[in-house]
Chain A
């Protein structure tokens, strides 16, 4: 122990920073002498998705066309400006039996990313780095089931401020580290609403067995200042076309805790059914204890204990056109509900500048 006495006065963060820098240096040594670079001048791209879904929730029918455009604007070798918006019109039968539409729109993110080898510096409005659903699986052309797990709403989903994130091989190329840390200011604008919060996520990814585990933390810095912790897990075995995913989230505030586990199996080994994917998901949500009735009502699904099982099927006409159908059963006190969903998604990608065909 004596040999560490000289360092006893230094804060722990100094050691962690030193460790990080050493690992970065190690990776730089690994990358030297690489000949995989190709010269590509990126062009602005408009991408995103459109979808049309019919949902039947406890007998209530909803039809919802949506469009979510994403504009990608690369600048120079290191900068990317990206902005995604969402627009939907939800038609529901009213008391007179007529369909009435409710328009909703929002800005999912509008951020500028400065990309370096080991870190990306982001500023603007962005999706909070917490677990994996919000950032990776939320777009409707990606998600395997169209219903969002209840526990995803526990953490604050949007941020306005700055973020540092990145991915790097850790010690060997068989283990990758990905990390994100952010700070957000409060914003009360109805489109840009965010909480004042800070937090981050760390994940370890094994590319060989295609396994990732990670943990997240979020501290809200306003009102009753709750914090949330989360863990996520994802595994795609090499032997079979199966994806297993799971998340767990717990809040110290009024938003309770919950988890979900999802499995998706692509029938790629069966002739004539290779474009079909079967999906199942189980989830459980535990509302915070001793919630006042008014608070529970305001929290909606986060104000009541629930269990839910969903089963679905996706059929890929092409890689960018997909039909989806699912059935779910939600068990909540005095409110057991059937959830039916059927619809289609289309992901579009188009250049906003001549691509020239070559590099």
Chain B
């Protein structure tokens, strides 16, 4: 009974967090889109920085940074690493972009 109550409470907390956070995120997305449209060079740099950050957070945990391969090879390697290292969808996209720029 205690476990069921705990699970129900967790579900309710998740709902509240989801509602609160989705609103904040929507606002952030809109701000990011308008920033990208007005300052494309800065936006590209931000994307590269984010990709590099995610690369170092995830890939460098296990191995040294590989050289940059052609994009079509990187697409395969990143897909393999997504499965092996259980990367998130966003991680994969940022890292692929970073490794192919």
Contacts and interface: CB of A to CB of B under 8 A. Distances in A.
Contacts of A1: 5
A7 B76 contact: no
Interface in A345-359: 347, 349, 351, 353, 355-359
Task: Count chain A CB atoms within 10 A of each CB in B47, B65, B76, B82 and give the residue with the most.
Answer: B76
A171 B16 CA distance: 11
B80 A80 contact: yes
B10 A19 contact: yes
21 contacts: A7-B4, A15-B10, A26-B18, A31-B89, A31-B90, A33-B30, A45-B73, A45-B77, A72-B79, A74-B75, A74-B76, A115-B83, A118-B89, A120-B82, A176-B88, A207-B57, A234-B61, A243-B61, A319-B65, A351-B73, A359-B72
Given A42-B75, A355-B72, A33 B33 contact: yes
Given A7-B4, A33-B29, A319 B66 contact: yes
Contacts, number: 184
Nearest to A116: B89
Contact of B57 (A19, A82, A210, A357): A210
B49 interface: no
A167 interface: yes
B39 interface: no
Interface of B: 1, 3-5, 7-8, 10-11, 14-15, 17-18, 21-22, 25-26, 29-30, 32-33, 36, 47, 53-54, 56-58, 60-67, 69-77, 79-80, 82-91, 93-94, 96-97, 100
Interface in A327-359: 347, 349, 351, 353, 355-359
A356 B11 CA distance: 49
Given A8-B1, A167-B86, A38 B100 contact: yes
Contacts of B36: 35
Contact count band on A: 35 or more
A122 interface: yes
A226 to B, nearest CB: 26
Interface stretch (A133-141, A150-158, A253-261): A133-141
A191 interface: no
B79 A115 contact: yes
Contacts of A358: 71
Given A23-B14, A41-B72, A80-B79, 8 more contacts: A26-B17, A31-B90, A45-B77, A135-B84, A167-B85, A349-B77, A355-B69, A359-B71
B77 A47 contact: yes
A142 interface: yes
Interface in A220-248: 234, 236, 243
Contacts of B72: 40-43, 351, 353, 355-356, 359
Contact of B18 (A22, A165, A210): A22
